[in-house]
Amino acid sequence: MRVHNFGAGPCTLPLDVLEEAREEFLEFSDSGMSLLELSHRSPAYDEVHSATLELARRVAGAPADFEVLLMQGGATLQFAMLPMNLLGPGSSGGYVVSGAWGAKALASARKAGVAYSAWDGVGYGFTRMPAPEEIRLDDGTRYLHVTTNETIGGIRMVDFPESGTPLVADMSSEYLTRPIEWDRYDVVYGGVQKNLGPAGLALVFVRRSAIEDGPDLPDFLAYRWHAAANSLGNTPAMFQIYLMGKVLRRIEGRGGVPVLEAETEAKASMLYAAIDESDGFFTSPIDRAVRSLTNVVFRLPSPELEARFLLEAAHRNLVGLKGHRSVGGCRASLYAALELDSVSALVDHMRTFQRDAR
C-alpha cells in the first residue's frame, strides 16, 4: 500500500519512474549487467549521462553560457565550494539569512573565505523576507547568496534584490518548480533529493565566465575541473544521474517548469486555504506574501493536538508531516511528484480532525 509521502526530502518520486527503474534493475539496455555495474566510461552509461545533462539544461532553460554540473555532496558541499571558487583576495560573499539553510551556507562560507550577513531574519523568527532595500551589501561583494526557499522555515523569496551584484541561489527545495531568471545569477544549485531524484546528487549551474580565472583548487573542489570533464572527472553518482534523467524526461513530457509551477501553486493554494479557513485552528506563522509553496508549515492549538493529528494522519497513510525537530509543529512538503490527490487527502484529514477535536 503506497502512502501519501509529505516528507521534506528525500521525498516521493514518480511511481512510473520507480517501476521503470525496477524493470531495468538487473539488466540495463542489453548490457548483460545492472546499470550499477556499468563502467562510467562505457558508451551505454555515457548515453545516460549526456542525456541527463542535456535534459537538465533544457528543462531549466539554462543559457549556453552556463555549465551544467552533476556533483556529489549535496548543497552542503556547495556551501564550501561556492566561496572557494568565486572569492579571491579583497572580495566577499553577502548572504541573506532567511532561515536555517541560509545560516548554514553562511557559516560554511565564513570558514572558506570572507562572507557576511547582508540581512538576517532571525529577529523575526524567520517569518518574513527582506524588502530589497533592506539588504546591505559591502564594497567588494562578489555575489549575494540567497536561499530561494527555506525548507525548514517554510518561507520563500518572492522579490529578488536588484543590486547589480550577481546572485547565487540555493534552490534545493523548489528546484524547477519556478522559472529562473538566468541573467541575475552566476550560480544556481541544489540537492536533487526533493523535486528531481534520490539523495546523493547535486545539480549545479555555473556561469562560465564566473569560473574562468578562479583559484587553483584540488580537483574535486574546482567547478572548472568538473566542467572540463563533463562531470566525469571521477566516478559520478551514476544511479542518481540515471534516475534524475528519467524524472526530468517525465517533467519535460508533461510541459516542463510552467506545468510544475502551476501544479505547485494549485497544491499550495488548496492547503493554505484549508489553513486559512480553519478559524485559527490551523495557523501558519509565515508572512502571507512569502509563504513557501513547497514546504507548508503549520501549527495546531497545542503540542498535544499536533501529536494526535500526526498519529491519526499516519493511520490514514499520510506520512512525513512532522515539522523539523528544530521548529516543531507540522510541515507538508508538496514536491513535484506529490499528487494533488495527496493534498486532498490531507485537507480531508485536517477538516475531520478539527471537527472531532472541537
Report which DSSP code applies to 324. P
User: 119 an active-site residue?
Assistant: no
Catalytic residue (one of 101, 119, 186, 246)? 101
Stretch that binds its own copies, among 4-12, 50-58, 90-98, 119-127 (CB under 8 A): 4-12
Among residues 15 and 262, whose Cβ is nearest to its own copies?
Answer: 15
Decide if residue 209 touches its own copies (CB under 8 A).
Answer: no
Q: How far is CA 128 from CA 158, 161, 202, 288, in A?
A: 11, 15, 27, 9
Is 10 one of the binding residues for its own copies (CB under 8 A)? yes
C-alpha closest to that of 80 among 58, 109, 106:
109
Tell me, residue by residue from 162 to 191, as one string, x for binding to its own copies by CB under 8 A and - for no binding.
Answer: -----------------------------x
18 binds its own copies (CB under 8 A): yes
φ/ψ of residue 171, rounded to 5: -110, 15
By CB under 8 A, tell whether 341 contacts its own copies.
Answer: no
Binding mask 255-294 toward its own copies (x if CB under 8 A, else -) reads: ----------------------------------------
Compute the least distance from the CB of residue 308 to its own copies, in Å: 20
E strand residue ranges, the chain: 4-5, 66-71, 92-97, 115-120, 141-147, 149-150, 155-156, 167-170, 185-191, 202-207, 295-298, 318-319, 330-333
Q: Which one of the spans 155-163, 192-200, 297-305, 340-348 is the region binding its own copies (CB under 8 A)?
A: 192-200
115 phi/psi in degrees, rounded to 5: -140, 150
Give the count of residues interacting with its own copies (CB under 8 A): 69
SS3 helix, strand, coil % of the chain, rounded to 5? 40, 15, 40
170 is catalytic: yes
Residue type, 167: L
Residue 32 interacting with its own copies (CB under 8 A): yes
Question: Judged by CB, which is closer to its own copies: 2, or 358?
Answer: 2
**What is the CB neighbour count within 10 angstroms for residue 183?**
9
Q: Grid cell 506574501 — which residue?
A: 289
Q: Under a CB-based contact definition with an 8 Å cutoff, are residues 295 and 154 in contact?
A: yes
Task: Out of 16, 19, 138, 277, point to the residue binding its own copies (CB under 8 A).
Answer: 19
Q: Catalytic annotation on 225?
A: no
One-letter identity of residue 132: P
In the set 46, 119, 159, 194, the catalytic residue is: 194
In angstroms, the Cα distances linking 157 to 102, 122, 288, 356 are 12, 15, 12, 36
Nearest-approach distance from CB 125 to its own copies, in angstroms: 23
Q: Cβ(320)–Cβ(334) under 8 Å? A: no
Least separation in angstroms between CB 318 and its own copies: 10
Joined grid coordinates for residue 86: 568565486
Contact code string over 55-84 relative to its own copies, x by CB under 8 A:
----------------xxxxxxx-xx----
The set of cell numbers assigned to 269 is 493554494
The answer for residues whose C-beta is within 8 angstroms of residue 253's C-beta and 6 or more apart is none
Whose Cβ is closer to its own copies: residue 99's or residue 130's?
A: 99
- Closer CB to its own copies, residue 92 or residue 108? 108
319 is a contact residue toward its own copies (CB under 8 A): yes
Q: What is the DSSP letter of 319?
A: E
Q: Which residues bind its own copies (CB under 8 A)?
A: 1-3, 5, 7-13, 15, 18-19, 21-22, 25-27, 31-34, 36-41, 71-77, 79-80, 104, 107-109, 111-112, 191, 193, 198-201, 216-221, 233-240, 243, 317, 319-320, 325
Catalytic residues, which ones?
101, 170, 194
